[in-house]
Amino acid sequence: MQLPTLGDLPGRIATGGFILHSGMQKRSADEQTAGAIHGMAAGAFPFLNAIPPERFIKLLSAAEIGTGAALLTPIVPTPLAGAALTAFSGGLVAMYARTPALRNPGSIWPNENGIAVAKDVWMLGMGLGFVLGGLSRSRSC
């Protein structure tokens, strides 16, 4: 098992704390918030229309809590925590890419509405770094 290195800890703590907090907030989301978040996600991924907003927000909350907890738990190997972060943030980046209303016309760059989602590209980069770092460490042992 590959425990986190000291260099892994800042990124794991920063992203893990942020994602865990976000998931905890969504646990008590009201109907309007659930509908808005579900609507944005379903606009990018139409198959999500089959899931009621209240169920979707509970599933999203659980995914965020699980991802945040994995990042914050030192016994979870960094490559595994990184894979969870990569999957989670990859979904957010894909949603951004599939939602033209979040970007400047004809551009990949965010407009004011898209900044909150476009920034998730950093989490994707960190997750990939955790996975690749773990792979390179395991090959050098």
Question: Mind listing the pLDDT tens digit for each residue in 30-61?
Answer: 999 999 999 999 999 999 999 999 999 999 99
Instruction: Report percent pLDDT > 90 for the chain.
Output: 85
What pLDDT, on a 0 to 100 scale, did the predictor assign at position 38? 97
Residue found under tokens 């476009």: 118
What pLDDT, on a 0 to 100 scale, did the predictor assign at position 12? 96
What's the chain's average pLDDT?
93
Would 2 be classed as within a structural domain? no
Would 128 be classed as within a structural domain? yes
What pLDDT, on a 0 to 100 scale, did the predictor assign at position 14? 95
Would 63 be classed as within a structural domain? yes
Model confidence, pTM:
0.88
Would 99 be classed as within a structural domain? yes
Would 1 be classed as within a structural domain? no
| 100: containing domain | 8-140
Would 3 be classed as within a structural domain? no
Contacts of 63 by beta carbon, 8 Å cutoff, 6+ apart: 23, 88
Task: Domain count for the chain, please give it.
Answer: 1
Compute, in degrees rounded to 10, the torsion defined by CA atoms 115, 121, 124, 130. Answer: -110
Would 92 be classed as within a structural domain? yes
For residues 90 and 128, the answer to whether their CB atoms sit within 8 Å is no
The size of the chain, in residues, is 141
What pLDDT, on a 0 to 100 scale, did the predictor assign at position 81? 96
Among 17, 41, 57, 48, residue whose Cα is nearest residue 102 = 41
